[in-house]
Amino acid sequence: MKISVVGAGNVGATTAQRLAERELAQEVVLVDVVDGLPQGKALDMYESAPVLGFDTQLTGSNGYDETAGSDIAVITAGLARKPGMSRDDLLAKNSAIVGGVVESLVAQSPDIILIVVSNPLDIMCSVALAKSGLPSNKVIGMAGVLDTARYRSFIALELGVSVRDIQAMVLGGHGDSMVPLVRYTTVSGIPLAQLVSQERINAIVERTRKGGIEIVNYLKTGSAYYAPSAAAAEMVESIVRDQHRLLPCAAHLSGQFGIDGIYMGVPCVLGKDGLERIIEPELSDEESAALHVSADAVKETLAKLEL
C-alpha cells in the first residue's frame, strides 16, 4: 500500500504523520511546491519511527514522479481560511490548485482513490471528479467525519461524558447549512433529546456549524488541522483495512435523497474500492427540507465554476 498526501502544510503534514504512525501504508509520500518543506517534514517524521515503533517509509517531494503507483491520495493543497473569509472565498484559487494536483496524481496513478480535504470541500470534490476522469466511487470528500466529530465533542462537553459513547452523524454541505441529525443522535443508545434541553441542542447545532470559523478566529493566521487530519486518517483506514465503516462523507449524489449531480455529506460505506454504497436513512420532512436547503447552497456555489 502506498499513500500520497498533497500539501505539506499543517493539515497535510499531520495527516501524513497519522497515516505513518498507524502503519496504514508501506510508504507515505508528502508532496508540496515549497522547496525543502515536504522533504524536511517527511525526514523529521521518519526520525520519530524508532521512538514510536512504526516502519512506514516517508518521502518528501516537490513533484509527482515519487507518487507513481499510489493506491490512495489525500489532497489538502490550497489556501487556508483566515478571519473574515468564508469557505467560498477560496473557490477560484483552490479550484485551480486542486485541478492541477488531481491531473498530476492520476497521470502517475490511474487507479488511485482520491480523498479531498481542500475547501470549499463539496465543490473541490466536483473539481476532482471532473479533472480525474475517475468513477465517482473513487473520489470522496472528507467533511462529515470532521463535522460529526465536532458535534460529538460539543455534546460530550455539555454532558460531561466520554465522546466514545456518543453516536451521531452530520450530513449536508460542509458549511453553515450542514445538517446534524439530532433525532438520530444518542448517548449509549439514549436519545439526546432526553438528556439535553432543546435550547441547548440548538446551541450545540449552531456551534457545530460554526466549528471551523471558531478555530480560525482563535488561530488568526490559519485553520484547524488536528481534527481534519484525524478525520482523513479514519477514512483512509476504512479503505486500507476494508473495514466497511459507515461514515458521513462527501459523495457524488445521483438521485439519493432526491438530490442529483453534486457532492454532499451523506452516510457512506467505505471499503477497499473506495465508496461502496450510500445509505439513505429515513428523514423527517424537516430534516429532508434542511438537507435540500444545504444542497441548494452547494449548487449555487458550484454554478460559479465552469466544469
List 6's β-bridge partners, or say none.
31, 75
Question: Catalytic annotation on 174?
Answer: yes
- The Cα–Cα gap between 184 and 203 comes to 17
Residue that the C-alpha cell 522533504 belongs to = 39
Q: Phi and psi of 190, rounded to 5°?
A: -85, 125
Residues facing residue 58 across a β-bridge: 28
Whose grid coordinates read 452547494? 298
* Three-class DSSP category at 246: strand
Taking a C-beta distance cutoff of 8 angstroms, is the pair 127, 149 a contact? no
Question: Which amino acid is residue 196, in one-letter code?
Answer: V
Active-site residue identified among 174, 244, 252, 292: 174
Kind plus residue range of the DSSP H or E element containing 228 = helix 226-240
- Tally of CB atoms within 10 A around 9: 19
CA–CA gap between residue 276 and residue 16 (Å, rounded): 24
Cβ proximity of 259 and 296 under 8 Å: no
| Strand, coil or helix: 129 | helix
Length of the chain: 307
**Residue 259 Rama label (left phi>0; alpha psi -120 to 50; beta):** beta
Query: 130, 59, 56, 118: which is closest to 87 by C-alpha?
Result: 118
SS3 of 178-212: CEECHHHCEECCEEHHHCCCHHHHHHHHHHHHCHH
Positions marked catalytic: 174
